[in-house]
């Protein structure tokens, strides 16, 4: 029973905080974190709710393995209805915040209503209160964290907060914890901002004492850690290069969407790769990468800590960016870099720091910059409208657009709406590289066919982390499949989607799945949690979670026609590389996927499917 069995319900309208017992019947069906919080959410919230209205709720949830020595056991998720998409949002973050929340004795926190004025939630174990945040409003996430730690006189307090982007309703704003970890996607930060909730500060001294069989649990976690250490990806590639290990690999495969996906290979990829982060700069003789970094409990340590050249044009008068801070992950390096055609490593590092500082999802944001640059190239947007020249390949434009969006100034307000709304407003809706309003990340569906189906069917809008078939199609995990064909991809995507839902509900990081299968997670869960946690049950739980999310989206108004890719992916063939001449085969894969899911041709779960899953 690795759950604390307690949830905290915070009514921001009334200003009340109360403890409730966790619904253990649901915990047995939905495990924790993503699954369990989504169950609470769909039971309590109307699918048609306006995401930025007080009637929307937002849940911060840990999993049963959060706050334990299970490797990567420090995750938490934010579940709400996303303003970027109008779909279920489920954003997962590492760092230390999640474990601290668990140590304070809470499985999850449900936020409802809207505060009349800015507040933050202070949690010190059982002592919970809403406090005035007038002095924090308008501050960045970095300032907010510093001010709270100082005023609490407790440097061991962990903080998650929104920056100015979340306050300003940037539709891809995120919730940042521990300075540079983020519940990143779908605009969960804007939901938090709409509730006048600036931050959550948590200090937990109670610990996790509720492991069912501690001895068996320790044995299971030690065995599973060895699997991670012995694996080439989790034991070597990720610690050394981070997720940036992929930049050159994906570029060579011809699957690196470049300049708003007009191309699939980027001539500057080498300059913004994980390898480049290790190389000494000619200007100051130092490398971009200072060290790697682990989240709570993580024995992989893929995080990047970077430092830019103090004399780089982007920071020369700005000492706050001179220190070491969160560096580029692959998706951010792609989005702010390749998607805009920019290969200035330090400029991208600084733009990424700004995204952390004010809480913006660099994936959606970078893709939005790419779209804006294409509009500029077409003459649909002008220098006068944007305030600066914004051609592809301009590092200056990327940094300046980041600043204006973070601060909510001028054209930054329009960039803050994401590429779907931006391209529609300026007459070119097809130029948004998004699904359900959310931009797809760094894997081109023409060069990695399974990712097209992944994006099209992802319940939170386009995303790589719902079913990372790259593992199979590129790295051969668990088996190598051909990235250029559509055959078999429906089954592959489903298997990844269901397994991922379990990882995301357990309290661990999905990056473990480069080395772990469910068979490695199962013994850890079985030793930690009361009840039956067999492989069969876990598979069913994953499928149940996926279908529950789908039902919410269907009830919110999504239909099969929303399970589609941008026109460019279906009509403009890859120009170079191994995928040259190919478009996405989404139209072939989607019906196969619906059938294999037990859904109608309209994408609705069949009665028998729902009955089998107990939905």
Instruction: Give the list of residues 6+ apart from residue 554 with CB closer than 8 angstroms, or none.
Output: 603, 604
CA distance 384 to 575: 33
Q: Is 218 in the site for another protein (CB under 8 A)?
A: yes
Query: Which x/- pattern over 154-173 shows residues binding another protein (rule: CB under 8 A)?
Result: --x-----------------
In angstroms, give the least distance from the CB of 269 to another protein: 25
**Residue 558: partners with Cβ closer than 8 Å, 6 or more residues away:** 86, 87, 436
Q: Could you say whether residue 501 binds another protein (CB under 8 A)?
A: no
What is d(CA 576, CA 403) in angstroms, rounded to the nearest whole number? 34
Backbone angles phi, psi at 359, to 5 degrees: 75, 70
Q: Under the criterion CB under 8 A, does residue 207 sit at the interface with another protein? A: yes
Q: Tell whether residue 323 is a contact of another protein (CB under 8 A).
A: yes
Q: Which residue in 179, 216, 560, 610 binds another protein (CB under 8 A)?
A: 179
| 527 contributes a contact to another protein by CB under 8 A | no
Q: C-beta of 284: minimal distance to another protein in Å?
A: 16
For residue 168, the tally of other CB atoms under 10 A from its CB is 22
Tokens of 129: 């209160």
User: Which strand (E) or helix (H) includes residue 551?
Assistant: helix 535-556
Tell me the three state secondary structure of residue 111.
Answer: strand
Strand partners, 80: 58, 89
Q: Which is nearer to another protein, 323 or 478 (CB)?
A: 323
The answer for 55, left when phi > 0, alpha when psi is -120 to 50, beta otherwise, is alpha
Residue 615 binds another protein (CB under 8 A): no
Q: Which is nearer to another protein, 112 or 178 (CB)?
A: 178
Closest residue by Cα to residue 12 from 145, 175, 200: 200
Does 209 interact with another protein (rule: CB under 8 A)? yes
Among 307, 405, 505, 553, binds another protein (CB under 8 A): 307
Among 229, 287, 388, 610, binds another protein (CB under 8 A): 229
Under 8 Å between Cβ of 113 and 13: yes
Q: Which stretch binds another protein (CB under 8 A): 25-33, 292-300, 463-471, 500-508?
A: 292-300
CB of 294 to another protein, least distance (A): 4
Separation CA 290–CA 205 (nearest Å): 32
Which of 38, 243, 244, 293 contacts another protein by CB under 8 A? 293
Q: How far apart are CA 50 and CA 64, in angstroms?
A: 31
Question: Least distance to another protein from the beta carbon of 205, Å?
Answer: 4
| Contact flag: residue 236 with another protein (CB under 8 A) | no
Tell me: does residue 600 bind another protein (CB under 8 A): no
Burial 90-129 (b: 16+ CB within 10 A, else e): bbbbbbbbbbbbbbbbbbbbbbbbbbeebbbbbbbeeebe
Tell me the C-alpha distance between 74 and 92, whole Å.
Answer: 10
Q: Of 104-143, which residues contact another protein (CB under 8 A)?
A: none
Residue 331's φ and ψ, nearest 5 degrees, are -65, -40
Q: Which stretch binds another protein (CB under 8 A): 28-36, 210-218, 438-446, 583-591?
A: 210-218
Smallest gap from Cβ 203 to another protein, in A, equals: 8
With CB under 8 A as the contact rule, the residue among 208, 402, 458, 522 that binds another protein is: 208
**Single residue of 34, 139, 225, 466 touching another protein by CB under 8 A:** 225
Q: Is residue 301 a contact residue for another protein (CB under 8 A)?
A: yes
Instruction: Answer positive or negative: Cα dihedral of 540, 543, 544, 545.
Output: positive
The three-state secondary structure class of 72 is coil
Rounded distance between C-alpha atoms, residue 419 and residue 443, angstroms: 18
For residue 297, state whether it binds another protein (rule: CB under 8 A): yes
Stretch that binds another protein, among 321-329, 353-361, 377-385, 575-583 (CB under 8 A): 321-329
Task: Pick one of 96, 106, 241, 426: the residue that binds another protein (CB under 8 A).
Answer: 96
Question: Can residue 216 be called a binding residue for another protein (CB under 8 A)?
Answer: no
Interface characters, 60-89, with another protein (x: CB under 8 A): -------xxx-x------------------
323 or 491: CB nearest another protein: 323
* Residue span 548-567 as binding mask against another protein, x where in contact by CB under 8 A, dash where not: --------------------
Q: Which of 283, 291, 318, 571 binds another protein (CB under 8 A)?
A: 291
For residue 397, what are the contacts with CB-CB under 8 A and spacing of at least 6? 340, 369, 373, 388, 389, 390, 391
The residues that touch another protein, with contacts defined as CB under 8 A, are 67-69, 71, 96, 99, 103, 156, 179, 204-209, 211, 214, 218, 225, 229, 239, 290-299, 301, 305, 307, 323-325
């Amino acid at each position: 029973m690795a759950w604390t069995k307690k949830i905290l319900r915070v009514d921001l309208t009334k200003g009340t905080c109360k403890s409730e017992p966790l619904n253990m019947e649901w915990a047995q069906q939905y495990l924790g974190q993503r699954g369990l919080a989504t169950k609470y959410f769909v039971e309590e919230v109307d699918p048609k709710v306006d995401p930025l209205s007080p009637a929307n709720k937002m849940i911060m949830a840990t999993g049963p393995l959060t706050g334990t020595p299970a490797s990567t056991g420090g995750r938490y998720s934010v579940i709400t209805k996303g303003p970027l998409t109008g779909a279920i949002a489920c954003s997962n973050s590492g760092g230390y915040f999640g474990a601290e929340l668990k140590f304070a004795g809470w499985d999850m926190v449900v936020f409802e209503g809207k505060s009349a004025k800015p507040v933050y939630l202070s949690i010190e174990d059982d002592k919970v209160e809403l406090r005035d945040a007038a002095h924090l409003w308008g501050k960045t996430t970095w300032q907010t964290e510093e001010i709270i730690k100082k005023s609490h006189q407790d440097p061991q307090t962990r903080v998650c907060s929104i920056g100015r982007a979340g306050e300003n309703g940037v539709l891809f704003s995120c919730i940042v914890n521990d300075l540079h970890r983020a519940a990143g996607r779908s605009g969960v930060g804007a939901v938090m901002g709409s509730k006048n909730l600036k931050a959550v500060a948590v200090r937990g001294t109670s610990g996790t004492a509720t492991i069912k069989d501690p001895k068996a649990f320790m044995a299971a976690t030690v065995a599973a850690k060895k699997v991670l250490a012995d694996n080439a990806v989790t034991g070597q590639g990720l610690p050394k290069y981070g997720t940036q290990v992929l930049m050159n690999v994906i570029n060579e495969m011809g699957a690196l969407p470049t300049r708003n996906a007009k191309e699939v290979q980027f001539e500057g990829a080498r300059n913004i790769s994980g390898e480049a982060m290790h190389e000494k700069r000619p200007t100051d003789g130092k490398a971009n990468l200072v060290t790697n970094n682990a989240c709570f409990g993580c024995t992989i340590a893929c995080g990047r800590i970077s430092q830019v050249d103090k004399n780089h044009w982007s920071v020369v008068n700005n000492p706050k960016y001179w220190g070491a801070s969160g560096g580029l992950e692959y998706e951010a390096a792609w989005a702010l870099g390749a998607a805009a055609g920019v290969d200035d490593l330090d400029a991208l590092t600084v733009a990424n720091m700004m995204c952390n500082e004010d809480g913006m999802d660099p994936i959606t944001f970078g893709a939005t910059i790419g779209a804006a640059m294409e509009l500029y190239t077409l003459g649909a947007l002008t220098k006068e409208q944007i305030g600066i020249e914004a051609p592809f390949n301009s590092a200056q434009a990327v940094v300046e657009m980041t600043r204006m969006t973070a601060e909510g100034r001028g054209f930054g307000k329009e960039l803050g709406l994401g590429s779907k709304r931006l391209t529609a407003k300026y007459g070119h809706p097809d130029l948004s590289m998004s699904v359900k309003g959310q931009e797809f990340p760094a894997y081109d569906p023409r060069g990695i066919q399974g990712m097209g189906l992944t994006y099209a069917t992802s319940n939170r809008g386009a995303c790589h982390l719902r079913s990372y078939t790259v593992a199979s199609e590129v790295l051969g995990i668990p088996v190598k499949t051909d990235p250029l064909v559509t055959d078999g991809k429906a089954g592959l995507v489903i298997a990844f989607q269901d397994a991922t839902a379990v990882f995301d509900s357990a309290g661990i990081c999905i990056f473990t799945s480069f080395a772990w299968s469910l068979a490695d997670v199962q013994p850890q869960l079985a030793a930690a949690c009361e009840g039956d946690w067999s492989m069969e049950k876990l598979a069913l739980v994953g499928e149940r979670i996926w279908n529950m999310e789908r039902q919410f989206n269907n009830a919110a108004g999504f239909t099969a026609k929303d399970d589609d890719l941008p026109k460019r992916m279906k009509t403009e063939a890859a120009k170079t590389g191994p995928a040259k001449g190919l478009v996405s085969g989404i139209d072939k894969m989607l019906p196969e996927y619906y059938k294999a899911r037990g859904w109608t041709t309209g994408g609705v779960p069949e009665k028998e499917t729902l009955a089998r899953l107990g939905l």
